[in-house]
Amino acid sequence: MKRLGVLTSGGDCAGLNAAIRAVVKRAVTGHGAEVVGILQGTKGLMERPVRTRPLDLSIFTGDILRQGGTMLGTVNTGDPFAFPDGRGGVTDRSAEVLEGIRGLDIDALIGIGGDGSMRILRRLADQGGIPFVGIPKTIDNDVPGTEMCIGYHTAVATAVEALDRLQPTAASHQRVMVLEVMGRDAGHIALAAGIAGGADVILIPEVPYDTGAVAAKLASVAGEGRNHALVVCAEAARPRGGAVTTRPDPGGTVHYGGAGQVVGAEIAEATGADVRVTVLGHVQRGGMPTSIDRLLASAFGVHAVDLAAAKRTGRMVGWRGGDTFDTAFEDLGPGPRCVDLEGSQARTARGLGISLGDR
Active site residues: 140
Does 140 bind ligand F6P (CB under 6 A)? Our answer is: yes
Burial class (CB in 10 A: 0-12, 13-18, 19+), 154: buried
Q: If you write DSSP's letter for every residue of 63-114 in order, what string do you get?
A: -GGG--S-TT---SS--GGGEE-SSSSEE--HHHHHHHHHTTT-SEEEEEE-
Does 184 bind ligand F6P (CB under 6 A)? Our answer is: yes
Task: Rule CB under 6 A: choose which of 144, 183, 289, 301 binds ligand F6P.
Answer: 183
CB of 236 vs ligand F6P, minimal distance in Å: 8
Does 119 bind ligand F6P (CB under 6 A)? Our answer is: no
Q: Which is nearer to ligand F6P, 187 or 239 (CB)?
A: 187
Q: Which is nearer to ligand F6P, 251 or 322 (CB)?
A: 251
Does 76 bind ligand F6P (CB under 6 A)? Our answer is: yes
Strand partners, 246: 256
CB of 266 vs ligand F6P, minimal distance in Å: 21
Does 138 bind ligand F6P (CB under 6 A)? Our answer is: yes
Q: How many residues does the chain have?
A: 359
Does 114 bind ligand F6P (CB under 6 A)? Our answer is: yes
Q: Which is nearer to ligand F6P, 189 or 231 (CB)?
A: 189
Strand partners, 179: 232, 278
Does 188 bind ligand F6P (CB under 6 A)? Our answer is: no
The one-letter amino acid code at 49 reads P
Q: Which stretch binds ligand F6P (CB under 6 A): 138-146, 239-247, 258-266, 339-347?
A: 138-146
Give φ, ψ of 74 to 5 degrees. Answer: -160, 165
- Helix segments in the chain, DSSP class H: 16-25, 31, 41-46, 94-102, 115-128, 152-173, 188-196, 211-223, 259-271, 291-309, 344-351
Task: Rule CB under 6 A: choose which of 21, 238, 285, 294 binds ligand F6P.
Answer: 285
